[in-house]
Chain A
Amino acid sequence: MAIEEKKIILPGGNTCPGCTGPIVHRIIYNTLGKNVIQFGGGGCGGGSPRDVPSYSLHHSGVASGATGIVKALEAQGRTDITVVALAGDGAASNTSFGKLSAAALRDDNMMFFTCDNEAYMNTGVQKSDLTPYNAWTRTTPLGKKTRKMDLPMIMAYHYVPYVATVTPAYHADFVRKLKRAQEIEGFKYFHVLQPCPTGWRHDPAKAIELSRLAVQTKIWPLYEIDDGNFKITYKPREFKPVSEYLGPQRRYSHLDDGMVEEIQKLQDEEWENVLSRDGKYIWG
């Protein structure tokens, strides 16, 4: 598949080697085009300059700052511009969770992206509420004792017109969802799983591989919820064990066989949940 490179991501980025942030932003802006205004950076993975007008008010202003832009454009009658709000997982699940929720409940016309690398990576790997069960971070040195919150489903029950889970390894799936969402008016929620070599403690060359493994091991099911209609958008023919995903990441190096088994069981249950919703209208 030919990718048209519009040079929206500019040189001079300051992300770590192997960071998937700039890849995600390239996919987003190459698909949405240049007629966008961006609010927020999307955590430290957004540390690459982009040729789009942007503004930000620290991580804790995400969503509401974008709402302001949306309303200004409405007041000016400018309907052609797409407003993109980018938040890291810490902003989306913790510091700006209330703002994300309120913007969704107001159905403000924006595309919101949670760029989820599963911890506060900018400050050097501290737990967020999107850190997965039993993952090591500097503030959970013995592993996080509670599960990752199911933010995409929480957003789905804000009754917003579109919710999608994506990850950069599944590029075509990501692009199709972006194009679909851009056609819809109202609040569109994207949850992007974004592997982070620095925080997940893996080989920087393996970031996209882990992005793919997350889907193949039931860790990160790919689905969309279009006006309440839930649809799995990619079903692997056969699943791999979660150990293949956890193994290369040293944030899981403290896990023994029993703990790995526990995570396998959680993800098996999770997949059953996802399957049970597939093809259904979930707001009924």
Chain B
Amino acid sequence: MSFWDQALEIARVDMRIERRLGDVSRIVLPFAVVALLVFPLALGVDLSAISLIGPAVFWAVGILFGMQVALRQAASDSPERRDLYSLLGVDPAARFVGRSLSGSVLMVGFLAVLLAAMIVLYSPRLPQGWPAPMILGSFLAAIGLTELGTLAGEVTAGLRNRTALASLIVVPLALPLVIGGSQTLESLARDTGILPWLLLLVATDLALAVAGVALARPLEEASR
């Protein structure tokens, strides 16, 4: 079985498990939308302030709850399953790619729903021509966050309290993604050019992909 066949098989099974358990669609996403709702309630009836903070709250809630999406595999991955994959001859890099693929699909869907909810709840003043940069920025941030979560899951595999430890790894390293994603919209509003921020997101995604693939084997061997 080729590298990509292995990666796609792992992604396919991950998606099937998500469809059955609904970790993202039935647990994380509703709570994230509730979190979006809490901010306007706390601010009262100051509609202009609510409208102003909408995109910032979207990114804050998106990253915090998106971390749960990104780390869901770390929480469910058992040592027996990891051993089984090794003994079936699965390339650890293919496993990383497969999990990043399925996680990215879920994360993109998660951020898309969250974005729609933010627009409805906050009525933000968005600059003209916002949809394409906002969607592209969210898409790139979603991929990076998933890669980061998958990588953090691998780094902490076999450790006690791995979910908590993985979160501690993800939060600081997600900063380029938060900055790149949020500044894409800001730069559009200020008319200062969005390209540098999109490039920051692309570079971060690529760096995480290279690190994930290159470190997959050593991390798997070290986790036992």
Decide if A and B are genuine partners.
no
Q: Which residues of A contact B (CB under 8 A)?
A: none
